[in-house]
Amino acid sequence: MLNIRLYLAQRISAMIMVPFVITHIAVMIYAIQGGLSAAEILGRTQGSVFWFLFYGMFVAAVSVHAAIGVRVIVSETTGLRGSALSLLSGASFLLFLFLGARAVMAVTVSA
């Protein structure tokens, strides 16, 4: 039953990520075409609740998706099972979430 829930969670997180990926790529192409510098981009994103929520939700979806992917890869390549595998995937999720949250804070929160 756990495998079915993880399978569904990974597929749902992928569906959630699609509009975020498309929006992120579109905004990056627009910014590059407009000749914006990194400082100008940060000037537009810092202090923005919209970009904080956008990238925060993006990071959450990516963290779920990636942690489940790591779990599957480790299980298939090492044969690790049970609570050790669950601990590893939970730790992976927390690491991805922490690192992503730090990046979101750096880009959206004014210094």
Kindly report the CATH class assigned to 2-108: mainly alpha
Task: For the chain, give every domain's residue range.
Answer: 2-108
At 2 the pLDDT is 80
* pLDDT at 111 > cutoff 80: no
At 32 the pLDDT is 87
pLDDT band, very low/low/confident/very high, at 39 (cuts 50, 70, 90): confident
As a whole number of angstroms, the distance between CA 66 and CA 24 comes to 18
What pTM does this model have? 0.90
What backbone torsions phi and psi does residue 18 show, to the nearest 5 degrees? Answer: -55, -55
Please work out, in degrees rounded to the nearest 5, the angle formed at the alpha carbon of residue 23 by the alpha carbons of 33 and 100. 105
The string of pLDDT tens digits covering residues 1-35 is 788 999 999 999 999 999 999 999 999 998 889 88
Return the sign of the alpha-carbon dihedral for residues 102, 88, 75, 86.
negative
81 HSE (CA, 13 A, CB side): 3
Q: Quickly list H helices, 34-109.
A: 38-45, 49-78, 82-108
Residue 36 burial (C-beta neighbours within 10 Å; 0-12, 13-18, 19+):
middle
